[in-house]
Structure 1
Amino acid sequence: MISISAAAAFSFSLLSKVVDRMVSLSVGILLSTSLLHALPEAFESQADTHALFATLLGGLLGFFLLEKFAILRHSHHYEGDGHGHAHGHDKHEAGKAGWMILVGDGLHNFTDGILIAAAFLANPSLGIITGLAIIAHEIPQEIGDFIVLLNAGFTRTRAYMYNLICSLMAVVGGVLGYAMLDRAAGWIPYVLVFASSGFIYIAVSDLMPQMQRRATLRETIPQVILIAVGVGVVLFLTGREH
């Protein structure tokens, strides 16, 4: 709900500078959560190391394929974009993309709920960090979703409410994930590795390329500072535990 509300506020007020900075902060949080906390937590367990690395590889490839199948969200047209279509064609196509995004986000949020449940079962502080990381990386993603929904003809209220309903799928995933993983504690290291593969993939394949488009020194310095802030937040929240 925090992610959806923040994304709506940014989208509806077009605070693009804040969005760009949120991307940099998200990269720091996602990478440090994965590489400095979740993966060590998994590999320090009794799980087979080769199986964990296979899970990491499978997760990275799986997220790559999922992005391929979801390419529609990046290939929609806009009404009046200069393409030679009949009036209303682009908006009709964008409308279908809008509903596809809602379905995809619902499934994505369901998975997030399972990952949060697994992280809390492994360690409460890891669960909090995982929740914060998901909030951070969801905001830029949801901003893009809002733009597509508005282009598809959704009013601001409808776009907000439908996205909010989709976000509640995380609650369903969390409850089911808790029920299943509580009886199968051996799954937790593998789910944590799978979660880490998702965080790493999102940061490296999606967010960091966005940052690379802003290559001037004036834009790079804030990016580096905010990545460091994201890493520092994770280190601060995990320091007492270690």
Structure 2
Amino acid sequence: MKLTAAQTALVERLGHCFSEPGLLVEALTHASLTTPVRGDNQRLEFLGDRVLGLVIAEALLDADRGAAEGDLAPRFNALVRKEACAAVAEEIGLGEAMLMGRSERATGGRRKTALLGDAMEAVIAAVYRDAGFGAARALVLRLWASRIAAADAIDRDPKTALQEWAQARGMSPPDYIEEAREGPDHAPVFTIAAVLPGGERARASAPSKRAAQQAAARALLQMLEKETP
């Protein structure tokens, strides 16, 4: 199967020459372009998520042999979440090599976090199916190297920390209320408030609901720390 110029350039950046180029094409094909003879990347994304998780979990264990599970879990979550996958995809210019329908292209699909993250995981699976776990592991370790090296500096997930703060004081978990959604469909900005049963609240804005919730939880934790004598 012949690759496009953008896909050929991506192969060079990945550092993996595919024995079956069709796997890469499948990994880069969004569902908006699915046809009876062309599959999309959803099945590979499912597999790639698992391969990525195993590689990152092993890398974190090797990087900090004394870390407890409670320390490793937030680092793991930060490294495998969709936003992290999308950031790596952006660094290697994966978006330019993606295949998608006209409507997705028109609404900025090549820059959407969800689409980039899914495609990155699918590419990992494509390498795994093409050359085995060793090749996929080498790819992930190279692309995630700087993030793995800095993983011990990752704070505990702020939503988890806020929930634990509330539970320790006999409170119900905090609520996350979407107060606004602004901007075009391809570049939305969500404003979300984190609210405790006692009425304490803080709000934050971000390009995704998850990021806005995390930022709001972090802001509320900081406010509570300042108020605590």
**Same fold, TM-score > 0.5, yes or no:** no
Relative to the length of structure 2, the TM-score reads 0.28
Relative to the length of structure 1, the TM-score reads 0.27
Looking at secondary structure, tell me which structure has more helix per residue.
1
Higher-Rg member (1/2)? 2
Looking at secondary structure, tell me which structure has more strand per residue.
2
